Chains A and B, each alone.
Chain A
Amino acid sequence: MKFSEEEIRKITFEAINELGDNAPPEAIKELVRKRVEALGGEYQFKKNEASFGRVILTSFGMNHPGIVASVTKALSDANCDIQDLSQKILGDFYTMIMVVDISGSPKDLRDIQEDLNKVAEEQKIKIYLQHEDVFRYMHRI
């Protein structure tokens, strides 16, 4: 059974009334979930599009120990799945490309980009994170 937006809003308002204005959002979410499931519905928050699918991570800069570790740690902290990884080293310079699935992550693409910007700053490297579609459109007919 599917609920309309209006019905979900109603259930949410009831939950807020029941728990009081100062209730933490998690508690309200939990109560709404219980109510929806009790009524035979499926509870699932619709994630926005930017948090689905695969993204391409490109990173380059001067090579030094710890780059892969710091990037993969940030990705694993965000619960992202690394599906492919490839890198090349030319003299002191490295380039690394990863295919990352962010569908399972609680964060959306922008949050993950922010996390990685911090890594890029710490490691003094460049990291770009772009949705896969742009490569598919540009390089595949």
Chain B
Amino acid sequence: MPYEFEEILETIRMTEIEHFDIRTVTMGISLRDCHDRNIDVTKQKIYDKLFRYGKNHVKFAKEVESQYGISIANKRISVTPISIPFDSCNAEEFIEIAKTLDKAAEDIGIDYIAGFSALVQKGMTNGERELIKAIPFALSQTKRVCSSVNIASTKAGINMDAILLMSEAIKLTAEKTKDHDSIGCAKLVVFANAVEDNPFVAGAFHGVSEPEVVLNVGISGPGVVLDAIREAGNVDLQHLSEVIKKTIFKITRAGELIGRKVAEKNGIPFGIVDISLAPTPAEGDSIADILKAMGVEDVGAPGTTAALAMLNDSVKKAGLMASSSVGGMSGAFIPVSEDMGMIRAVQAGNLSLEKLEAMTAVCSVGLDMIAIPGDTPASTIAGIIADEAAIGVINDKTTAVRIIPAFGKKIGDFVDYGGLLGKAPIMEVRKLCSEGFVARGGRIPAPMRSLTN
């Protein structure tokens, strides 16, 4: 037998019992050649191009699923940040473009399309201002479109003017989608140091240095890591790191295989495999449970940040060994609403916004899928975004804020979206005022890269 009995059973156990799946195969499509002076022609060009490349995306992904016995949870599309090719549009036209993206996504048969985005870390063009103005309307009038805005980078600093606009946009989006628990905010990400090849929606977009069309894959598998840690028992931390690495190695290899095969079927180049551990609301598919299995009583306990740092680092080391195409975010995601363990920790009062913020300094993204009271002022949201951006900019890493000021809700309430977005308890936000600082506007200058203490 070319494979050991145990090896084969291990793979079956991963896919059948431990929720190992490929989280997303995301096709990145450039829209840079779709601009026209006439908005109707622009819309037609966008639709035609998306449909031409994407029409078999779901079908091919399903074929690969059955061939290898590994399920692919999401099939999605990302596009060039819309503000770049269509910079001459006004807010109304951007909303029209969002509707076109929505229609194309629906006809292709995918649940989300991402890239209603702008990159404004240094400054904003007129078109980018218009796009940000359009975001609340675009997200409330479409179902499948996701938006992201990059407001800071290590090279450019932190654009406070953009943060102020975004915090207002987040508030308005929450209000405009109040009938659905402010779901619009779940589709809106504010980034620092955004990456160009991220396959994970809602923050995905097809960067300007990417090829015409590309296929990126995002793996998953907290359940697999959790079981491996539990099985390892009471071992020291070096040994534990080894256990995590061995597991991630296998997951990454499988992820790359699936990505390459889907790309091959579509006849397009394969881009990257993003080795992020992404949880789902399914029981056992949780980052919080991994941290608990590592030994902390609950997420939020002293030691949580260290455990997360080690988990994240082990994931990266193993992923890099397993594939030469690692990219995207590649770390561990700690969204609240999408992780049952995190939800429980918040409900039990063990996990606060401040601890979450500390955790984001060592893990993949940032304050993700966090619901806060609807009456939180925009300036406080701006302060939260600025804090998170500072962590990213100073540490030269990607951070993000996907926060939901749930309209009309207060502490003790829930927002519940079902499906992969899950449900989130409303978290407490400090009542102290940030207005005086954030309202100054302008830009926090880029940080220095030496004397880094």
Taking the closest CB of chain B, its distance from the CB of A100, in whole angstroms, is 12
> Given the complex, which residues of B lie within 8 Å of A86, measured CB to CB?
1, 5
Does B66 touch A at the CB level, under 8 Å?
Answer: yes
Max chain B Cβ within 10 angstroms of own Cβ: one of A86, A88, A137 = A137
Does B161 touch A at the CB level, under 8 Å?
Answer: no
CA distance A110 to B2 in the complex (A): 23
CA distance A113 to B65 in the complex (A): 12
Does B228 touch A at the CB level, under 8 Å?
Answer: no
Taking the closest CB of chain B, its distance from the CB of A33, in whole angstroms, is 27
Q: Is the interface of B mostly helix, strand, loop or mixed?
A: helix
A135–B3 touching, CB < 8 Å: yes
Does B448 touch A at the CB level, under 8 Å?
Answer: no
Taking the closest CB of chain B, its distance from the CB of A59, in whole angstroms, is 10
Does B7 touch A at the CB level, under 8 Å?
Answer: yes
Max chain A Cβ within 10 angstroms of own Cβ: one of B8, B10, B253 = B8
Does A84 touch B at the CB level, under 8 Å?
Answer: yes
A99–B1 touching, CB < 8 Å: yes
CA distance A86 to B3 in the complex (A): 11
Closest residue on chain B to residue A126 by CB atoms: B16
Binds A, one of B67-75, B85-93, B187-195: B67-75
Count of chain B residues near A, Cβ 8 A: 23
> Given the complex, which residues of B lie within 8 Å of A130, measured CB to CB?
11, 67-70
A58–B67 touching, CB < 8 Å: no
Does B254 touch A at the CB level, under 8 Å?
Answer: yes
Does A95 touch B at the CB level, under 8 Å?
Answer: yes
- 10 interchain pairs, CB-CB under 8 A: A97-B1, A99-B1, A109-B66, A109-B67, A130-B11, A134-B11, A134-B69, A138-B250, A139-B4, A139-B11
6 new A-B pairs (CB below 8 Å) besides A130-B70, A139-B4? A58-B9, A95-B5, A97-B1, A110-B66, A138-B250, A139-B10
Does A42 touch B at the CB level, under 8 Å?
Answer: no
> Given the complex, which residues of B lie within 8 Å of A113, measured CB to CB?
66
Count of chain A residues near B, Cβ 8 A: 23
Chain A, residues 101-132, CB within 8 Å of chain B (1/0): the string is 00000000110010000000000000011111
B67–A50 touching, CB < 8 Å: yes
CA distance A88 to B5 in the complex (A): 9
B1–A84 touching, CB < 8 Å: yes
> Given the complex, which residues of A lie within 8 Å of B66, measured CB to CB?
109-110, 113
Which B residues are within 8 Å of any A CB, using their own CB?
Answer: 1-5, 7-12, 16, 63, 66-70, 250, 253-254, 256-257
> Given the complex, which residues of B lie within 8 Å of A50, measured CB to CB?
63, 67
B9–A134 touching, CB < 8 Å: no
Closest residue on chain B to residue A109 by CB atoms: B67
A56–B3 touching, CB < 8 Å: yes
CA distance A110 to B1 in the complex (A): 24
Within 8 A of B (CB), among A64-86: 84, 86
Does A37 touch B at the CB level, under 8 Å?
Answer: no
CA distance A88 to B4 in the complex (A): 12
B254–A131 touching, CB < 8 Å: no
A58–B257 touching, CB < 8 Å: no
> Given the complex, which residues of A lie within 8 Å of B1, measured CB to CB?
84, 86, 97, 99
A134–B3 touching, CB < 8 Å: no
Residues A134 and B5 in contact in the complex (CB < 8 Å), given A50-B63, A128-B16? no
A138–B254 touching, CB < 8 Å: yes
B8–A134 touching, CB < 8 Å: no
CA distance A58 to B4 in the complex (A): 12
Max chain B Cβ within 10 angstroms of own Cβ: one of A99, A132, A134, A138 = A138
A129–B69 touching, CB < 8 Å: yes
Does A30 touch B at the CB level, under 8 Å?
Answer: no
Does A18 touch B at the CB level, under 8 Å?
Answer: no
B256–A137 touching, CB < 8 Å: yes
Max chain B Cβ within 10 angstroms of own Cβ: one of A97, A129, A139 = A139
